[in-house]
Amino acid sequence: MKMNTKIFNSLLKAVTCSRSTCFIHTTRVSFIWERDHKGGYLRDKPKHATTELIRDGLKELKGEIMLWKDEMKERFEGDPILVYRRGEIDIVWQFNQPEALSRWTTTSDSDHNEGHSTCELSLNKGGKGLFTGMLSSQVPKDGRVKRAGYCNMRSLRPRKSFKRDSYFDWRMYSHIVLRVRGDGRSYMLNIATMGYYDIMWNDVYSYALFTRGGPYWQLSKIPFSKFFLTSKGRIQDKQNPIPLDKVTHVGISASDKINASFHLEIDYIGLEFDPTHIEEFAYEMYTMPKYMVGV
């Protein structure tokens, strides 16, 4: 007997914040299995001839070999002894040149014909990253989409030579630090830990990113212990700390249901170790009867 996959309509989870309201938008969910990493988006991929694939692969061969040499050199030399000082920030992404922006990608609901929002990531006149766009919660008149209104910027996944997937290992840090200048709106900071199995492909840890909207830059320092687990935008009943050795992506989302343009200037995103921060996880779980959520 063949089992049909039940597809549920998207739901909306609201996270009420102290100064404003941040919203997490959801996509359709399959509770049986996932066909691909995109959750069904971009099914119609362009097909390329075998000769074209071979030609493109040979063009990238030199760069992949150089990357492999760097990996071997790092492995044999070993890691240096690291000494951390409080307040010292290791910058991971510096938004100061076009090459830095190429390590990020942007997407919005209109990219999937599920809304009218648009966004882009560019350099402003001061040479800093600028995440800007127009957020619209208007729903397309297709009788299928019920909620819309999101824009997102996301880092590319780290990889090893010959297209092998890799991870960021941030176990030696306690905080993520962003130097930003916003428009007074609230954004959502996301840390993805895409695992090997499809049930983990959409694991994302989120926390609100508030902006003041003034002329001055602000330094947002957020402990990893404050991030909560979501999957396809749904806050999960069973929470757990971020597996910091399995980080695959970092993203910033605009989805506060304010139908207006937004802009967020970004100087850098970095990491910091604070020895005085002893909190392991901010959210308490309770032991429940068997077959119910619990720890």
CATH no. for residue 220?
2.60.120.430
**Whether pTM exceeds 0.75:** yes
User: How wide is the angle at C-alpha 248 spanned by C-alphas 71 and 93, nearest 5°?
Assistant: 75
Q: Look at residue 107 in the predicted model and tell me its pLDDT.
A: 94
Average pLDDT on 257-264 reads 94
Q: Are residues 52 and 178 in the same domain?
A: no
Of the residues 64, 81, 98, the one at which a domain ends: 81
How many residues does the structure list for the chain? 295
The answer to whether residue 163 scores a pLDDT higher than 80 is: no
Q: Are residues 186 and 61 in the same domain?
A: no
Enclosing domain of residue 53: 48-81
Indicate the SS3 state at residue 12.
strand
pLDDT one-digit tens code per residue, 126-162: 999 999 999 999 998 888 888 889 999 999 998 877 7
Indicate the SS3 state at residue 63.
helix
Q: Are residues 143 and 227 in the same domain?
A: yes
Handedness of CA 4, 5, 9, 15 (dihedral sign): positive
* Structural domain count of the chain: 2
Q: Look at residue 96 in the predicted model and tell me its pLDDT.
A: 92
pLDDT one-digit tens code per residue, 187-239: 999 999 987 776 778 889 999 999 998 789 999 999 999 999 998 888 888 89
Q: Are residues 210 and 251 in the same domain?
A: yes
